[in-house]
Amino acid sequence: MDLKLNFGSPHHGWLPCELRLGEHFVEFEASDVPNNPVEDLVDCLWKAIRGEASEVWWHLEPAGYYFLMEPNGSELLFKLQYSPDSTIAMRQTVLEAQLNLKRTLMMFWRSAKKTGSFAVSDTDWPGINNKDMEKLKHKIATIKLDSHFL
């Protein structure tokens, strides 16, 4: 099962997001306050390459979605959680899937990279570091594919 993340054009600090896993579909608009979730997503990709668990908070003011990523060899446990008030105590898992690490990281990379191609001002959405994104792409490319995911 493949995971897909698509971003619409950001406006005034809000980023339209669509997440699809199989027949499951979640749509939301994330704020860039108090964090930049796209930048946090890029940080999570670096952590996954190093084998570290991580998460991204997509703030909906006051609610929030969370992407939790736990790499294990060539696999990635992905969880989508939701909290109506962005607290840990109220989080509930919406989706959970064991995915191919390399394919999933590359999909997230493409989604994050796309935000840098939007013709918007910094007041609409913060930019991304293209030099860092290229380094990340090359690092993801070095991950070996496990044959049972082919």
Handedness of CA 73, 1, 104, 3 (dihedral sign): negative
Predicted TM-score (pTM) of this structure: 0.93
Would you say residue 132 has pLDDT above 70?
Answer: yes
Would you say residue 148 has pLDDT above 50?
Answer: no
What's the whole-number average pLDDT of the chain?
93
Beta strand segments in the chain, E:
3-7, 14-21, 24-31, 54-59, 64-72, 75-83, 92-100
Would you say residue 112 has pLDDT above 70?
Answer: yes
Domain boundaries, the chain: 3-149
- CATH code of domain 3-149: 3.30.2450
